[in-house]
Amino acid sequence: MRQNLAHTLMFTARTSTDGVIERDFVLGDIPGVLWSPASGPERAPLVFMGHGGGTHKRWPAMTGRARLLVTCCGFHVAVVDAPGHGDRPRTAYDEQEIAALYRAREAGEPEGPIVVRYNARLAERAVPEWKAALDALQELPEIGTGGPVGFFGLNMATAIGVPFVADDPRITAAVFGLHWPDALAEDAGRITIPVEYAMQWDDEHIPRAAALALFDAFASKEKTLHANSGRHKELPRFESDSAARFLARHLRPTAVREV
């Protein structure tokens, strides 16, 4: 089901605050945001991010992480709305799965089976879009082709990100987290780039053994698991700082020593 995807980014708005340029863009009918350093070298690495289920490209976690990555490390950071999310229409299938999720939540039944199934279907739609977006972003002179590209996406963005990264050799380091192994372990076994993986030790949705199994599945020689006490939505803020350092270490290996 390869879609007929647009090839060129069109910028539709531009603001600049505190050293960060923020540009809205569309790639055909897919809206996205690109954050960039207001000053710096001609060309800098890109971090491609994804948002979680039920949120969108400008969710506070996205804007916060983007600003962090731009200001700490001079990266470009891009995110697009996932299918059925943000400014994009939902299909009848999207509505049906979202309704099923709410029913499970209200009935106190496990959300996992629905999230795993729905996210796997979303990934089939989103992976070609993300590849097209990466193609188009690399045509910008300030990003360019051939440079290192990082990925940072938790929750639903891990469900899309694992098959995306497994299939796209342009990604050279990836931060994932907070998902189940069921639909992802096989693709994770094809990923060999450095990975940082976040899980919650007391996650009420993802069983501990399931989270550990997905981390175990990555074929990467260099991989790090960060497990924090707390429930599904209680991932500590300092894990964003950790992700930024991880991406800096791998995308800018010659940069100054951290700490």
Amino acid at 251: L
Residue 157, phi then psi, degrees to nearest 5: -70, -20
- Of 88, 121, 245, 252, the residue at the interface with its own copies (CB under 8 A) is 245
Residue with smaller CB distance to its own copies, 93 or 201: 201
24 C-beta neighbours (distance < 10 Å), count: 17
CB of 179 or CB of 223, closer to its own copies = 223
205-226: string of b/e by CB count within 10 Å (b at 16+)?
Answer: bbeeebbebbbebbebeebebb
Q: 221 forms bridges with which residues in the sheet?
A: none
Applying CB under 8 A, which part among 35-43, 121-129, 174-182, 240-248 lies near its own copies? 240-248
Nearest by Cα to 115 from 228, 226, 204: 204
Write the single-letter amino acid at 159. Answer: A
Out of 190, 228, 232, 252, which residue is the one contacting its own copies (CB under 8 A)?
228
Candidates 229, 253, 254, 256; binder of its own copies (CB under 8 A) is 229
- The CA R_g of the chain, rounded to the nearest whole Å, is 17
Nearest 5°: CA angle at 192, between 186 and 193? 130
> Which of residues 138 and 224 has its CB atom nearest to its own copies in the complex?
224
Exposure string of 79-89, with b = 16+ CB inside 10 Å and e = fewer, is: bbbbbbbbebe
232 binds its own copies (CB under 8 A): no
Beta-strand relationship, 20-27 and 10-17:
antiparallel
Question: What span, in angstroms and rounded, lies between the C-alpha atoms of 236 and 159?
Answer: 21
Instruction: Supply the minimum distance, in Å, between the C-beta of residue 60 and its own copies.
Output: 17
Query: Stretches 99-107, 123-131, 170-178, 213-221: which one binds its own copies (CB under 8 A)?
Result: 213-221
Stretches 127-135, 153-161, 177-185, 234-242: which one binds its own copies (CB under 8 A)? 234-242
Instruction: Write each residue from 53 to 82 as x if it is in contact with its own copies (CB under 8 A), else as -, in one continuous string.
Output: ---------------x---x----------
Interface stretch with its own copies, choices 11-19, 37-45, 97-105, 236-244 (CB under 8 A): 236-244
Q: Please identify, using beta-carbon distances, which residue of 85 and 250 lies nearer to its own copies.
A: 250
Cβ proximity to its own copies: between 77 and 140 the closer is 77
Nearest CA among 155, 137, 131 for reference residue 51: 155
Q: Which is nearer to its own copies, 24 or 239 (CB)?
A: 239
Interface with its own copies (CB under 8 A), residue total 25
Q: Residue numbers of the site for its own copies (CB under 8 A)? A: 68, 72, 201, 212, 215-216, 220-229, 236, 238, 241-242, 244-245, 249, 258-259
